[in-house]
Amino acid sequence: MRKSFQLMNKNKHHPPKEADRLKKIVESFPNVTVTVLGDLVADEFIFGEISRVSREAPVLILKHKERTIVPGGGANAINNLADLGVNVLPVGIVGDDEAGRTLLKYFRHKKIPLSGILKDKSFPTVTKTRVLAGLPHTWRQQVVRLDKEPEAEPNHHLKRELVLATRQYTRASDALLLSDYGYGAAAPAIWNTIRERGRFDRLPVVLDSRYRMLQYSGITAATPNEPEVEHALGARIGTDWRRLCAAGEEVMKRMKLQSLIITRGREGMTAFSQEHKPADIPISGSDQVADVTGAGDTVIATFTAALAAGADAQEAAHLANYAGGLVVMKRGTATVSQQELLQAVTQSTPLIREH
C-alpha cells in the first residue's frame, strides 16, 4: 500500500528565499540559448457545431466553423521555449506542403531562426488533425483524430544535414533538447553521430522520447511520463510509491542520467537526481484538467530552460511543474509565457509530498 503522506513546504523556514531563486532563474531565460533537435509536428484543429444526425449513417453532421494549425511535437517544445523568452535554435524537417509552410510562417512571426529547419518534398510534414464538436456555448469535445505521417525515416542527406546543423547550433547554446516522437529527426542513431565529434560533457542534454528512451546514451536528463516508463521497463507502477522510486532509479542507472522527471498527470510529477532523494511534487494549481495535449512539451521546455539558466534538477522540476499546471488549463496545444510562469512562482510556494 502507498504510505500516507503530508504536503510539506520544502522551504518552511525560508519561504521567500526559494521563490526569489526561482524568479531569478525565470527572469534569466532571455539570456540563455537552447538548441532543439526534434520531430516537427503540425497540430491541426477543425471545429464544428453539431448540426444533426446523418441520414447516411449513425454519425453527427458538423457545421464547419474554424480551422487552425499550431506547432505540435518538437515544434511545440520550440514554441514553448520562445514564449518563455528563451533564445531557441530549432533543427528539424518539414515537408513542402501547407502544414510545413504554416509552421515556418508561425516561427517566422515569432522571430525564431529557420536556417536549421530543412524543407523537403520527400518527407511530408507530420500532421495530427483533431476534429472537435460541440454546441454553441458548450465545450468542444474531440471526436476523432487523423494522423498523417511519413512512410519512412529521413533519407541519408537529410540526416547528415540534421547532424551538421545541430553541431553548429550547440556550439552557441547552453542546452540541447531532443524531442523524439518516433519520426526519425531525433532518432538515437542521429544523436550518436552528433556525439561522435561534439563535446557535450558540460552541456545539459534533455530527452523526451515517446517509445525508445532506453536506446539513448550520453543524456543528462529525461522527462518521460509514467506510462512511457512502464512500457520501457515492462513493469507496472500504479499508485505504489516504492515501485515508482525503484522504476525511476532503474531508469537513472540504465541511462546514466544526472536527473529525471516522471510526469504523472493529476498526481503531478516525481523528480529524481543524483543530489536529492526522490521528490514527489503535487500538481500546481487546480487538478481540474482542461486539456493535456502537448503538456509534456511544455514540461521539457521549461525544465531544459531552467537547467540552461543554472538551476539544479529540483529547482528545474518545480518550474516545469508550475508550467505544466498552467498549460493543462488551456484548450488545445498551448504554451506558457515567461510572465505567466513568474506570476505562478510569486503566488504559490513549491510543495513536496513527504512519504
DSSP code for 66: E
- Catalytic residue, chosen from 83, 174, 208, 297, is 297
Helix (H, G, I), strand (E, B) or coil at 329: coil
Helix (H, G, I), strand (E, B) or coil at 111: coil
132 and 146 Cβ atoms separated by less than 8 Å: no
Closest CA to 174 of 49, 25, 297, 63: 25
Do the strands 126-134 and 351-354 form a parallel or antiparallel pair, or are they unpaired? unpaired
| Region for 299 from its dihedrals, namely left if φ exceeds 0, alpha if ψ lies in -120 to 50, beta otherwise | alpha
- Cα 161 to Cα 313: distance, rounded to the nearest angstrom: 32
Place of cell 512519504: 355
Closest CA to 36 of 96, 105, 85, 86: 86
**297 in active site:** yes
Positions marked catalytic: 297
